[in-house]
Amino acid sequence: MSNRVACVTGGSRGIGRATALGLSAAGFDIVVASPEVENNEKVAEEIRAGGGKAVTADLDVSSADSVKEVFGVLLKDLTRIDVLVNNAGITRDGLAVRMKPSDWSLVLKINLEGAFLCAQQVLPGMMRNRWGRVVNISSVVGQAGSAGQANYAASKAGLIGLTKALAQEMGSRGITVNAIAPGYVATDMTKDLPEELKQKMLAAVPLARMGKPEDIAAAVKFLVSEDASYITGHVLAVNGGMYM
């Protein structure tokens, strides 16, 4: 691999897949990282079919050991990771008063702690190279809250705080750290929502359509580009006007 290298967690589908494909089209070599080994390979094949370079990583961001081991191998094999997109995330919805502690913990562990652990692995190399981009995929829910999603909202709001702290720590090394807060995007995560809820959410979007994974990927592509080199600590809302 000779181009800059971008690692996308949760890269096997949805926003992660679109981001991996978009960054490949922009000239990055890609690491597709998730526990969905077969889907990782499908995305990597798609990238290669389009003339890009891609490798896969069986990464479980809920495990500190997995994160350390996988990034250790990647950094040895690829020598560097220039861009990290922290996209891995899950939901375990339920009203706060009835939420199981295990559902609270798992969502925080994957969505927030996982992003921190991955950043911790790649930042030293970025500091040495005096260039790097970290993009954390937050959510409109982290900005506005959402009934029945206390765990998810807390994890995504936490990502915004993490983004701003890392941006302040890393700025002098030529590393930018930004967040994207997607709105209502058509993915596997949203397709199982009750139809009534989907219509209600859609009614709250001034642009009157759901977002596409490619809408988020385009924002990632901008934030990791040289055009965005003076933007850091920013939360870019890509939500069709759902929350302003």
Which residues have a catalytic role annotated? Answer: 152
DSSP 208-243: -S-B-HHHHHHHHHHHTSGGGTT--S-EEEESTTS-
d(CA 196, CA 205): 15
Residue that is written with structure tokens 């690829």 in the block = 78
Spatial contact of 6 and 30, defined as CB atoms under 8 Å apart: yes
Spatial contact of 54 and 47, defined as CB atoms under 8 Å apart: yes
Spatial contact of 147 and 197, defined as CB atoms under 8 Å apart: no
List phi, psi (to 5°) of 237: -85, 125
Angle separating helix axes 101-108 and 150-170, nearest 10 degrees: 30
Residues near 37 by beta carbon (within 8 Å), at least 6 away in sequence? 56, 58
